[in-house]
Amino acid sequence: MQDNNIIKFLDLPDIIATEIISTEDRYIFIAEAKKNHIVCPQCGNITNKIHDTKWQNIRDIPIRGKLVIIRLLKKRYRCPYCHKRGIPEKYESIDKYARNTKRFDKCLAKETVSKDYSKVARENGLSYTAVNNAVKKVIDPLIEQQLSKLSQLKAISIDEFAVLKRHKYGVSITDPINRELIDIYLPAKRMI
């Protein structure tokens, strides 16, 4: 029963926690991949032959105000069929070469909405660059998606509307052909 609770506590789709260590300021999850095999990218055969292993610390979202570190046993495999070596595991919840989970990057991006990058970095024990990179990883795909959507537009319409009559106005941008809202720009808090 204890092992099942540890697995549920971590709640990542492709990583299984085998042990949890709790200290005053952090939780450390000892974990590994759920799968014990991979498909060889060269020949397409399934292999479970381990070439080498290494431990890597991955940051995750805080739990109950405590820092969460996943101590992940990463494996590289070798293929007995085509003799390719050093085939790394791939994770759904962690980007390649990343030191944070994807959900931790999203958490940092949400924090930067109301705080500056330096403050978020200090509060999470990270560098400014680490926060900036995490935000870029989350925001860049959204920007690309919006740009591809905008490049397909044939027409746009722009309309002003009153947020507070005679005081504050916003602007809506829509696609009149497909009848979709593209964006809304609200006034800044201070009007000059």
pLDDT single digits (tens) 113-169 = 889 999 999 999 999 999 999 999 999 888 888 888 888 888 889 998 887 777 788
Closest CA to 168 of 185, 151, 147, 150: 185
Half-sphere exposure of 14 (CA within 13 A, CB side): 15
H helix or E strand, kind and range, residue 37 = none
Question: Using one digit for the tens of pLDDT, what is the confidence trace for 67-88?
Answer: 999 999 999 999 999 999 999 9
pLDDT, the chain, mean:
88
pLDDT at res. 69? 95
Q: What percent of the chain has pLDDT over 70?
A: 93
**What's the whole-model pTM score?**
0.73
pLDDT at res. 180? 87
The ranges assigned to domains in the chain are 1-96, 100-152, 155-192
- Please say whether the beta carbons of 103 and 60 come within 8 A: yes
Rounded Cα–Cα distance for residues 161 and 101 (Å): 41
pLDDT of 188 above 70:
no
